[in-house]
């Protein structure tokens, strides 16, 4: 089992709908989680950070953490064509400064 797993997609969602992206992780002790967005040909940019319990909302983006099932979700409401990108999930590796990266989910928002 990979340490951080994401469905590679592509995930196709109609404009205006909710896009739901999932990320599973293997270390039950993980406490913090990062979501990055990467446009084609560009570098990843941090869009959400969630720590420990509960949901976190930032504008149209909501990160949800389910520790019992060991997954974290990113919901994008009112999806726009500009949301079309690859979304990367990352989890800190315990004991050092690294992040463990998922392979990313490609999201396509269809007008």
Residues forming contacts to another protein in the complex (CB under 8 A) are 31-32, 34, 42-46, 49, 51, 88, 90-92, 96-99, 101-104
Cis peptide before 10 (omega within 30 of 0): yes
- Shortest spacing between CB 32 and another protein, in angstroms: 5
Task: Count other C-beta atoms under 10 Å from residue 89's C-beta.
Answer: 29
Name which of 37 and 79 has its Cβ closer to another protein.
37
Name which of 16 and 98 has its Cβ closer to another protein.
98
Beta strands 105-110 and 11-14: pairing type? parallel
Name which of 54 and 111 has its Cβ closer to another protein.
54
- Shortest spacing between CB 28 and another protein, in angstroms: 16
Task: Count other C-beta atoms under 10 Å from residue 50's C-beta.
Answer: 20
- Shortest spacing between CB 50 and another protein, in angstroms: 10
**Whole-Å CA distances, 110 to 9, 16, 19, 60, 63:** 14, 9, 11, 17, 22
Name which of 51 and 55 has its Cβ closer to another protein.
51
- Shortest spacing between CB 91 and another protein, in angstroms: 8
Among 47, 67, 63, 45, smallest CA distance to 55 is for: 63
């Amino acid at each position: 089992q990979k340490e951080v797993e994401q469905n590679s997609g592509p995930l196709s969602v109609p404009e205006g709908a909710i896009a739901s992206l999932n990320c599973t992780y293997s270390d039950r002790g993980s406490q913090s989680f990062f979501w990055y967005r990467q446009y084609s040909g560009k570098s990843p940019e941090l869009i959400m950070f969630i720590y420990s319990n509960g949901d976190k909302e930032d504008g149209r983006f909501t990160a949800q953490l389910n520790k019992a099932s060991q997954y974290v979700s990113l919901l994008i409401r009112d999806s726009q064509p500009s949301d079309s990108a690859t979304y990367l999930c990352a989890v800190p590796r315990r004991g050092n400064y690294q992040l463990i990266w998922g392979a990313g989910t490609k999201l396509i928002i269809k007008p």
